[in-house]
Amino acid sequence: MTGFKQVSTQKGLLVIPGPIEIADDVLYANAHPSMAHTSPEFIPVFGDCIRMIREVLYTKDAQPFLISGSGTLGWDQVASNLVEPGENALVLNTGYFGDSFADCLEVYGAKVDSLRAKVGGVVPMDEIESALKSKRYKIVTVTHVDTSTAVLSDIKSIAAVVKKASPETLIILDGVCSVASELIKMDEWGLDVIMTASQKGLGTPPGLSVLVASNRAIQTFENRIAPVSSYYASWKKWLPIMKAYEQGTAAYFATPPVNLIYAFNASLMTITKSSEVSLEERFKLHEEASQRVKSAAVELGLKQVPDPENAANGMTALYFPEGYTASDILPRLSAKGVIVAGGLHKDIKDRYFRIGHMGISVVQQSRGDIDKVIDSLRDSLKEAQADKWQ
């Protein structure tokens, strides 16, 4: 075997908003010898993942679904299990991922209304309230952190408004870019579905759709009249599987990603059971790292895409300086071993870039990742400026 280590040291520092840097113990867990998905050794590993994801979201008894797939599969699960054709869905749109969620809901026959924030902003609360009062919505969806804009929505306050204006409406949180980097209190805030994926704040390789549904959401699913409109995403198929693994027996609908579950278990152990960094401290560390990156950006004269009062803690989106483009900055960062992401939101795509600061890059401070990002950004800007003035 040549060079597993070599590859991992040559690849550069991955600071895009997912996939993120992965801890060695998680990578090694992913390299577990191949196991039967029904083996007695594997069953509790899966069961513990189900129990631990509840801890990350501060929920006592909501129902997790861990299914092979990417974060996108969460949209299909919501659309096909919770909404019946012709029912109304309200999408709070703070960027690219709001468009995609709306698109997915429509594929399954939902009637979608979108409330669109201006680029970098959030949807005003009074607009949310009046929309909810104007007609009956089965669900309202909120992108917690829209990865295209780095806008953080205040889900706690939004949930309170929904409960007041339309208590029957299920509250769905797209937390793909926020789970484990932003505080989410599922039970206390009354959230019905939180969907995420393995490769962002949860610090695991991509390939696992992670969704947690409240008892109310499960009841809504059980009471639906129209048949579930998906085969692979059907909770009819998956609910017995999740319950079996949690109770310590195996059941089969479709093969789970066995090795990825070992990796996910290792990462969840660190997130929920670490004696060094508690879950609360983890969120605080994300806030601190975020502040450092954002303060450095101010010093360097770079403007953020989100309004500063609603900027995410797990990532930063920055406009290039006037007169500069991606090709002036990103290749220089990359030459220094720092891999960031370009723009994604269609209105401003070529004018900004994105830095992820989640997981071990912020929690394992001895790695020095945040320093490296800030120093490399400063140097890259200097070089780009020097080049312009030659």
Ligand X SMILES: *Cc1c(COP(=O)(O)O)cnc(C)c1O
Helix axes 279-299, 369-388, angle to 10 degrees: 20
The site map against ligand X for 182-221 (x = CB under 6 A) is ---------------x------------------------
Under rule CB under 6 A, which residues in 12-41 are in contact with ligand X?
Answer: 18
Angstrom distance (rounded) from CA 32 to CA 25: 11
* CB nearer ligand X, residue 148 or residue 166: 148
- Given a contact cutoff of 8 angstroms between Cβ atoms, the answer to whether 330 and 12 are in contact is no
Q: Is the dihedral of CA 330, 332, 333, 337 positive or negative?
A: positive
- Would you call the peptide bond into 33 cis, given omega within 30 degrees of 0 as the criterion? no
Counting contacts by CB under 6 A, is residue 176 touching ligand X?
A: yes
What's the min distance (Å) between Cβ of 64 and ligand X?
Answer: 17
What's the min distance (Å) between Cβ of 120 and ligand X?
Answer: 16
- Please give the residue whose beta carbon sits closest to ligand X in the complex: 71
Q: Which two tokens stand for residue 159?
A: 């949930």
Choose, by CB under 6 A, the member of 97, 108, 245, 352 that binds ligand X. Answer: 97
What's the min distance (Å) between Cβ of 219 and ligand X?
Answer: 26
* CB nearer ligand X, residue 273 or residue 349: 349
Counting contacts by CB under 6 A, is residue 68 touching ligand X?
A: no
Counting contacts by CB under 6 A, is residue 120 touching ligand X?
A: no
Q: How far is C-alpha 329 from the geometric centre of its chain's CA atoms?
A: 26
- Given a contact cutoff of 8 angstroms between Cβ atoms, the answer to whether 212 and 59 are in contact is yes
Choose, by CB under 6 A, the member of 30, 143, 166, 181 that binds ligand X. Answer: 143
Phi and psi at 68, nearest 5°, equal -50, 130
Q: Is the dihedral of CA 51, 57, 59, 62 positive or negative?
A: negative
Label the pairing between strands 139-143 and 170-174: parallel
Of 65-73, 318-326, 341-349, 378-386, the window that binds ligand X (rule: CB under 6 A) is 65-73
Which residues here bind ligand X, judged by CB under 6 A? 18, 70-72, 97, 143, 146-147, 174, 176-177, 197
